[in-house]
Every structure is written in C-alpha cells, then in structure tokens.
Structure 1
Amino acid sequence: MRTVDLSLATWRKSTHSNQDGGACVEVSDDCVALVPVRDSKTPHGPVLAFGESGWASFVSALRDGALDA
C-alpha cells in the first residue's frame, strides 16, 4: 500500500454534485497516475484513490449510462 500526502491537494467538486449539500464528490488532479476522491461533507474523512485508467473507465461508464439502475 502506498501513502500519499494530500495535505496540500487542491480539490474540485463534481459538476454533478447537488448544490444543497448532498451527493458531493470531490476529486484532486494534483497526483501523478492517481485520482483521489472524497466526500465534500467530510473533507478530513477517508479518501479513495483510483488509478487514472480505472477512473477514466468509471467516468466513461457514467457518461454512457452504463451504470444507470
């Protein structure tokens, strides 16, 4: 397991996040080959980290509707 220092990371909120404070996902573009993701409601909480290709596949599947219920 690799430890990544995210103390200086710049976070951006997903354009699909709810403006009422719910369903807020933030990602950071500051890491090489890694995409950290967190819940904006708990900024000091856990962070999930995905490889760039895995994240790109996930975002593409969302855009294509492949994950719709």
Structure 2
Amino acid sequence: MFVDFQNGWPPPERWEAEPKPLPNQRRESIAAWIIGFNLVMLLVGPLAGVTLFDAIIAALRH
C-alpha cells in the first residue's frame, strides 16, 4: 500500500476555547444567594415534605 505524505491533508486549525468571563461583584453575590438558598432548602425541604405527608394522611383518616 502506498501512502502519499507529500500531498496529504493540511493539519486542522488549532481550536481555542473562548475565555470565560471573570467573576465580578454581582455574579459573586448571585452565586452566594443561590448557595445560601440551596443550604436552607436542604434543611427546610424534608420538613415541608413530612408536613405534606402528614396532611394527606390526616385528610384520608377523616
């Protein structure tokens, strides 16, 4: 089998990712609020779910 290395395909162009935007004060504040909200929901969510199940069981009993 003959391989022609003289007239081969040109190498692909190098791909460079776009630079990520730098965090500023507003983005840091939004990220902090989102993390805080998730932490609060981590504690409050299970309690709300239990309360909902209790309400459904109470409604079915009467």
TM-score range, shorter chain: under 0.3
State which structure, 1 or 2, has the greater radius of gyration over its C-alpha atoms. 2
- Whichever structure has more helix as a proportion of its residues is 2
TM-score, normalisation: structure 1: 0.24
TM-score, normalisation: structure 2: 0.26
- Whichever structure has more strand as a proportion of its residues is 1
